[in-house]
């Protein structure tokens, strides 16, 4: 491990920042206090800021030298609407809210890099520090872009990072191309004609139709898309009926579709609708089909990924960088930024959970688990990666 020396000395302060954020989690677009903390630190370190993109977003600007080159480093700031069951000192003080995805750590790591870059200025160009709201379903990345992130702050590339439980502490994982999936949700209402369960011939049973549709949809995955294309179609809710002797008027199917490409998503969405409508028509029922596209697939750009790998190796050593890590069907709104700018998103290992001090809950240290905690040992490692990436991207002449 070759950490950036002065950042090691800064670790205690970063840990204090991280734990303070952990104790005061804020949900999507409510990150007011968090943004205040970020803004106060950046200002204290002499870094100009612009606030208000994406409502609570903060952009820090560190310019050095004369080069026009620029990169963006992005951290997310929001927490989740869930009850923390840890009871160590820095556990959440806000009931029903928790930093269970480690965005407290992401914010602290980027602050660590900001402090170093502003103090040492070992680069030629501009580093934009992007502190983003509402990653957890709110599309804060998209909203900052809609508010002019890339027009107000023109940058050549943008980079993101997420802690990854189960990956060895301080190691890195990344892959060029698709690394995280698109996330989409559907809701289909099958409309039949209710009646007495003993007289099915006088009704149109929407339950049977919904079951036929549910079965048929899986053949889109197994028979219609290319087997080499990855996709998931999960029906997670089926609702119908209220009594044992009543055929209901309606049945509802709800679920999620995940894909690594928009082409495969287009195919699945259109075939789901056609199969639902034609199956229903075959049984004299009708359907209301709604399909909502949330985050797009996260696609790492090859050149920037190769570059990021060099920066990770410079910090963690070649043996701690998996450059062919397994993609995940989870989703991430940094994907929007990678649709407009070249860049790369990486995982940094959060370990197995043994970093948690006494007082943690009984659950595993997994993302979105009530016993999760960010591993503070990562703070100087992640911050060092950001600094090396910036210095290598914007080398002094
Ligand atoms: Zn999350
Ligand atoms: Zn997250």
Which CATH number goes with the domain that contains 196? 3.30.70.360
SS3 call for 380? helix
Placement of tokens 């965005």 in the chain: 103
pLDDT, tens digit, for every residue of 377-390? Answer: 999 999 999 999 99
Tell me, in angstroms, the distance from the centre of ligand 2 to residue 287's CA.
Answer: 35
Q: Are residues 156 and 235 in the same domain?
A: no
Nearest to 64 by CA among 113, 5, 117, 7: 117
Q: Are residues 157 and 80 in the same domain?
A: yes
- Backbone φ and ψ for 334, nearest 5 degrees, come out as -60, -20
Q: What is the mean pLDDT of residues 210-235?
A: 97
Tell me, in angstroms, the distance from the centre of ligand 2 to residue 5's CA.
Answer: 28
pLDDT attached to residue 201: 97
Query: In terms of DSSP bridges, do strands 321-322 and 172-173 run parallel, antiparallel, or are they unpaired?
Result: parallel
For 279, what's the count of Cα atoms within 13 Å in the CB-facing half-sphere?
26
Reported confidence tier of residue 1, pLDDT bands at 50, 70, 90: confident
Q: Are residues 315 and 276 in the same domain?
A: no
pLDDT, tens digit, for every residue of 291-348? Answer: 999 999 999 999 999 999 999 999 999 999 999 999 999 999 999 999 999 999 999 9
- The answer to whether the beta carbons of residues 260 and 230 sit under 8 Å apart is yes
Phi-psi region of 319 (alpha: psi -120 to 50; beta: other; left: phi over 0): alpha
Q: What is the mean pLDDT of residues 79-89?
A: 97
pLDDT at position 157 over 90: yes
Q: Are residues 229 and 270 in the same domain?
A: yes
Nearest to 58 by CA among 120, 144, 136: 144
Tell me, in angstroms, the distance from the centre of ligand 2 to residue 358's CA.
Answer: 24
pLDDT at position 357 over 90: no
Q: Are residues 30 and 143 in the same domain?
A: yes
Q: Are residues 14 and 147 in the same domain?
A: yes
Reported confidence tier of residue 210, pLDDT bands at 50, 70, 90: very high
Q: Are residues 166 and 227 in the same domain?
A: no
pLDDT at position 366 over 90: yes
**Residue percentage of the chain with pLDDT more than 90:** 98
- Backbone φ and ψ for 345, nearest 5 degrees, come out as -120, 135
Placement of tokens 């290319």 in the chain: 226
Ligand located closest to 164 CA = 2
Picking from 295, 319, 342, the residue at the C-terminal end of a domain is 295
Q: Are residues 59 and 156 in the same domain?
A: yes
pLDDT attached to residue 376: 98
Picking from 239, 267, 295, the residue at the C-terminal end of a domain is 295
Q: Are residues 28 and 92 in the same domain?
A: yes
Q: What is the mean pLDDT of residues 107-135?
A: 98
Number of domains making up the chain: 2
List residues, by chain if needed, whose CB lies under 5 Å from ion ligand 2. 101
pLDDT attached to residue 358: 85
Tell me, in angstroms, the distance from the centre of ligand 1 to residue 40's CA.
Answer: 26
pLDDT at position 397 over 90: no
pLDDT at position 258 over 90: yes
List residues, by chain if needed, whose CB lies under 5 Å from ion ligand 1. 101
Q: What is the mean pLDDT of residues 42-54?
A: 98
Q: Are residues 221 and 270 in the same domain?
A: yes
- Backbone φ and ψ for 50, nearest 5 degrees, come out as -125, 130
Q: Are residues 98 and 9 in the same domain?
A: yes
pLDDT, tens digit, for every residue of 162-197? Answer: 999 999 999 999 999 999 999 999 999 999 999 999
Q: Which domain holds residue 67?
A: 5-180+297-393
Picking from 276, 295, 314, the residue at the C-terminal end of a domain is 295
Q: Are residues 88 and 197 in the same domain?
A: no
Tell me, in angstroms, the distance from the centre of ligand 2 to residue 182's CA.
Answer: 15
Report in angstroms the alpha-carbon separations of 347 from 94, 116, 180, 304: 28, 22, 11, 15
**Residue percentage of the chain with pLDDT more than 70:** 100
Which CATH number goes with the domain that contains 106? 3.40.630.10
pLDDT, tens digit, for every residue of 178-187? Answer: 999 999 999 9
Q: What is the mean pLDDT of residues 8-32?
A: 97
SS3 call for 386? helix
């Amino acid at each position: 491990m070759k950490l950036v020396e002065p950042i090691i000395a800064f670790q205690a302060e970063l840990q204090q920042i991280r734990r303070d954020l952990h104790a005061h989690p804020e949900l999507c677009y409510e990150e007011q206090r968090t943004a205040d903390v970020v803004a106060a630190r950046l200002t204290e370190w002499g870094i100009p800021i612009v606030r208000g993109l994406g409502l609570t977003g903060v952009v820090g600007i560190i310019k050095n030298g004369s080069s026009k080159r620029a990169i963006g480093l992005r951290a997310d700031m929001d927490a989740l609407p869930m009850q923390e069951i840890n009871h160590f000192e820095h556990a959440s003080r806000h009931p029903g809210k928790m930093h269970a995805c480690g965005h407290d750590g992401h914010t602290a790591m980027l602050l660590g890099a900001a402090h170093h870059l502003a103090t040492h200025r070992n680069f030629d160009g501009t580093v934009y520090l992007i502190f983003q709201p509402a990653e957890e379903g709110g599309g804060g990345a998209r909203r900052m872009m809609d508010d002019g992130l890339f027009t107000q702050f023109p940058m050549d590339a943008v980079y993101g990072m997420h802690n990854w439980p189960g990956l060895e502490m301080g190691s890195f994982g990344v892959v060029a191309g698709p690394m995280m999936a698109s996330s989409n949700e559907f809701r289909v209402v099958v409309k039949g004609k209710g009646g007495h369960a003993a007289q099915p011939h006088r009704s149109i049973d929407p339950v049977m139709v919904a079951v036929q549709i549910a079965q048929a949809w899986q053949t889109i995955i197994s028979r219609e898309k290319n087997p080499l294309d990855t996709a998931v179609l999960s029906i997670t809710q089926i609702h119908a009926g209220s009594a044992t002797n009543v055929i209901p008027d309606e049945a509802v199917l709800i679920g999620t579709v995940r894909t690594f490409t928009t082409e495969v998503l287009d195919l699945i969405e259109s075939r789901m609708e056609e199969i639902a409508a034609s199956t229903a028509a075959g049984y004299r029922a009708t359907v209301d089909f709604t399909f909502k596209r949330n985050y797009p697939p996260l696609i790492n750009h090859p050149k920037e990924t190769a570059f990021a790998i060099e920066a990770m190796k410079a910090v963690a050593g070649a043996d701690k960088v998996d450059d062919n890590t397994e993609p995940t069907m989870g989703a991430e709104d940094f994907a929007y930024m990678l649709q407009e700018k070249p860049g790369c998103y990486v995982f940094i290992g959060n370990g197995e959970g043994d970093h948690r001090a006494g007082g943690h809950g009984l659950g595993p240290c997994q993302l979105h688990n009530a016993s999760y905690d960010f591993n503070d040992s990562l703070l100087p490692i992640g911050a060092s990666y950001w600094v090396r990436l910036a210095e290598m991207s914007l080398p002094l002449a």
